[in-house]
Amino acid sequence: MPQTALNLIAVGIFVMTMSSLLGPIFNIPPVVPAAVTFGILSLATVDTLSWNSKGVSLLLDLFASAEQRQRIIHHEAGHFLTAYFLGIPITGYTLTAWEVLQQGQLGRGGVSFDTEVLTVKPLDLQKMRLTLDRFCTVWMAGIAAEKIAYGNAQGGVEDREQLKQALIMVGLPETAYPLKERWAQLQATNLLTRHQKSYAALIEAMKQRASVEECYAVIQEHCNADSEAITTN
């Protein structure tokens, strides 16, 4: 079950517990906390099964703090910038649950990639490994970006799951997953560090909801400044 649904269930349990404890003090009938909890759990179940947890995500978005919104932008900009430099086509991005709903997406949103161009024809083993490495780096770039900006990462559960599923598909042993994850995160960190000016400009562009093409132009515009900074250092 998605984390957002689990959060809502946790809220329901908390409400029921507190109502049970405070009910006798405030003369609240026992049926009230039970009904409220049942309603919350029912909504979470229906939302998860029928709406892919979009309703819960919309609710949580309403109470998101300014820092949480900034984290999301840093996280998604990390995915975007890394995909750009690794040659993975980007088809769009969303930064809130409302934007996901507006665009009619089925998933949780974020940066969307065009993977079809990478699988038009069968890849040989070497190309398959290179393609996997590129995608693993992009998936871990959101976590890397948060750690650079905040020292820790709060998002990335879905990213880690995508990486895990990809490694399962290619037949890598489970013991190799943590090593691959760390390697990909390190690659993403190095790339983001080398392109700090492009990354900062991209964040500002994404705040303004610039189009993918406009974001591409912003990154390219600041590439020279990044190159000069690297040369100077």
Residues 44-88: pLDDT tens digits?
555 454 445 554 555 556 556 788 889 999 999 999 999 999 999
**What pLDDT is recorded for position 122?**
56
CA–CA distances in Å: residue 193 to residues 40, 109, 141, 196, 202:
43, 25, 11, 5, 14
The per-residue pLDDT for 89 is 92
Residue 191 has pLDDT above 60, yes or no: yes
Mean pLDDT computed over every residue of the chain: 78
Q: How confident is the model at residue 159 (pLDDT cuts 50, 70, 90)?
A: very high
Residue 177: pLDDT band (50, 70, 90) is very high
CATH architecture for the domain at 66-232: Up-down Bundle (1.20)
Lowest average pLDDT, out of 3-12, 130-139, 166-175, 178-187, goes to: 3-12
> What pLDDT is stored for residue 65 in this prediction?
76
pTM: 0.73
The Cα–Cα gap between 82 and 193 comes to 11
pLDDT > 90? residue 220 = yes
Rounded CA separation 115/63 (Å): 34
For position 51, what pLDDT does the model report? 47
Q: What per-residue confidence (pLDDT) applies to 195?
A: 95
Q: What is the pLDDT of residue 68?
A: 85
Q: For residues 165 and 89, what is the distance between their CA atoms, to the nearest angstrom?
A: 21
Looking at residue 187, its pLDDT comes to: 97
